[in-house]
Structure 1
Amino acid sequence: MQTMLPPGSDGSGSFHFADRILGVGELNRLAREALEARFPLLWVGGEISNLTRAPSGHLYFTLKDAQAQVRCTMWRNRAQLLPFRPENGMRVEARALVTLYEARGDFQLGVEALRQAGVGNLFEAFVRLKDRLAAEGLFAPAAKRALPHYPHRIGVVTSPAAAAWHDVLAALRRRAPRLEVVLYPAPVQGSGAGSRLADTIRLASTRAKGDGIEALLLVRGGGSIEDLWAFNDESLARALRSCAIPVVSGVGHETDFTIADFAADVRAATPTGAAELVTADLYEAAHRLAKLERALAGALQHRLNTLAQRLDRAALRLIHPRARIAAAHERAERLGQRLTAAVERHVERMHSAIRLLQFQLDRRRPDVARERERCMRASSRLALAGETLIRARADRLSSLAAHLQHLAPQAVLARGYSITRDAEGRVLRSATAVGAGADISVELAIGQLRATVNSADHRVETSTPRCVSAEPDNHPGLPPCAKPD
């Protein structure tokens, strides 16, 4: 077989790039290819830490021990096949490919499979025992026995506290309620459970004839390989093969396999499946019997209907005319009675409908006196509210009129002020606006004065005018200290 080498490698693990400069990306790619070519898939054991479950389903975690740690990546298509949920602090064994994440130059493991620490040893022991017993012919298909078609009583080997016992009972009650069940209690987990299960199988085998047992179920619910290890006991496998009656093994879930499954005559995926297998013919027979019963009842009814029609036709030919007339009268009377009863029922229904409508009308009819009183009270309140509002608005209007009158120009002139205009009628606000000899007019509260300016004093008064009143609220529109002395 030809071995492919990375570019620049001579096969000794060294590279020769002295004559050129590598880019970082190319360097990381060559390092990844060298790692993947140097290290095959291998098992690495350690403790999980920094576990992250991405929304995409990928797992990212660190695998560490006392000396070092390494980053690990497990893609979703691999992670979703795990039989357990990885958690931080869990000791595991990872089957991984040594690689490099080129984008960041991170050394990491690409995890292909993951198992809890110690499971590998148990699995290897399971495989060795299975191969040895298979070589002895213990699992030979020719040694397997068929289950009884219509058993009257069966035995169940399991723990009374196990959920599998209740699952089996529920399935048997549903599928074969008349089937009798005998429980042979035994531990299904823990130290020595395998040998005790084997002893119970032997006890059931010796008592099978006296107890009337026709088949035996060995059941337990799902669990880890450690939980199911009692069913990988060699003595249990040999007890199953030497049992006097057929045995159905229903241990764990569909993906769980134990030595007991191979040694038993029939293997079921679950405890419920074991109950279904042992009652398959009973269940099918019950359904077939019910189907035949329905078919027989239908055939008999059809036959009776056919004969009844023939009898009626024959009877019609044998009836005397007087009898026919009497029968017609009787039929007419029955029809009349039915018609009368139908009319009475219809009339009663109409009366009930009328009473219901009358009741609804009485409930919806308004109380005129109460509504009139309510309207009068509302009218009184409205009139009172209108008068109150009008008085408030009138008072407000009077107050505003008084303020407006107080601020009117004539009111200001009446307090001693005047308005001085030049010859063009412009209001004079400064002595600098006119000179000596200019004609002016002075508007007083009553009348006007016309005068000529003899002289103009242009000096500006800098003293602060005396303020008599500082109550601007009494004179809206005027600033403080603007009132006349």
Structure 2
Amino acid sequence: MAEKIVAAYGMRDFRPSTCDLSARLAHLLAFAYLAKARSFPQFRLPMSTLFSETTHESRGAGVLSVSDLTSRLRDLVEDRVGDVRVEGELVDFTRAASGHCYFKLQDDDAKISCVMWCWQAERLAFTPEDGMLLHAEGEVSLYEKRGDLQIKVEALEVAGEGALQKAFERLKRKLSGEGLFDDDHKKPLPRFPKVVGVVTSGSGAALHDICSGIERRFPAARLLLRPVSVQGDGAGEQIAEAVRFFGERTADPPVDVLVVGRGGGSVEALWAFNEEPVARALFDCEIPVVSAVGHETDYSISDFVCDRRAATPTMAAELVVPARRDLLARIRENRQRLYQQIQRRVLDAQQHLDHLRSAYGFRRPAALASDARDRLDALRKRLQRAAGQQMARQRERLSSAESRLHLLDPRRPLDQGYAKVERDGSAVPDADQLAAGDDVRLRFRDGERRARIES
């Protein structure tokens, strides 16, 4: 049996930093069996004597209980492995209310559970986060209640970024360089959406949180669910396909805003939302998208691409729809403000009318009309007087112009006995211009005569 175990797992898998949870017990048995053959001083124990005491008791007292077995395995691990220093990527980190920290360390081949008690966790100089590459120092032990192999960590040091964190940062830099995170591409959310699309697991708590939040805040909105797998193989492609389905407006009815997300989990559980196809589908979506992945401290690539990020699915419901209570309060406030403005306008008009009613004109209207008639008569007399004076001045100017025009009349000399001499239609003012034998025309006041110059 031991030879089969060794052949199945090989020496490479028996390092304390890469113990697989599904083969913890087999590893321990193989460790002991290979101790002498592999020349590990701390494991110098023949397989035949590994459970010699157990075999002796079993012959006399029957089979072992589970408690006895796990207790002996714990003693074996603590005695034969003891203190270790392990390097691995931090995943599934949680801090209990008591302050104790529970997490796992993993590499490409295996994963092991760890616990760090509160009095040791208080001395940490950093905040552990999933994806960190850590050095853990502590004692390898067995948790008897579940039969789980674990490391009771006494000290943690940051060694760098884990494989998942490196992949996350690499994709983040690539997409950021292509402009997928730019604010210029962010679309505003509709104020009163009629239909809200949801891409999440059809049976998860996130769906319940989103539905109950929208129903409580804005019952008029209709929800349209596209259920998908949110973790595991193929989850990323399902999410991307659902986003494209809504983005191409093939849904009936078409949605106004889309919520994409899931509940909290480890880095591995949330990894589907860090895949590049999902990010590009979200970027190409024509409708506004809200990302609601994990808890407030969880950040995914989808959070950076989407138009808005909600820390939790419940907060996503608060982002996509208004609160009915707030809307009703705003309507009541606006109604009250409108009523007050109308009252103010009516009061102002009433005060203006009262002022006019108390004015001098309203107290003595007959006297006011008489004064107006007197002013009108005076203006009419002034107008008539001014018009007569203007007419007289115009007549004088016309008479003067007429006199000047009469003096300039070319026929006036003819009336005094003079004649006008013309030759070939032109006036002859000088005698030197005529010679003997010239024919001329003499114009008189009452006609003309032809004549010839004799000398």
TM-score (norm 1): 0.41
RCO greater where, 1 or 2, for CA within 8 Å and sep 6 or more? 2
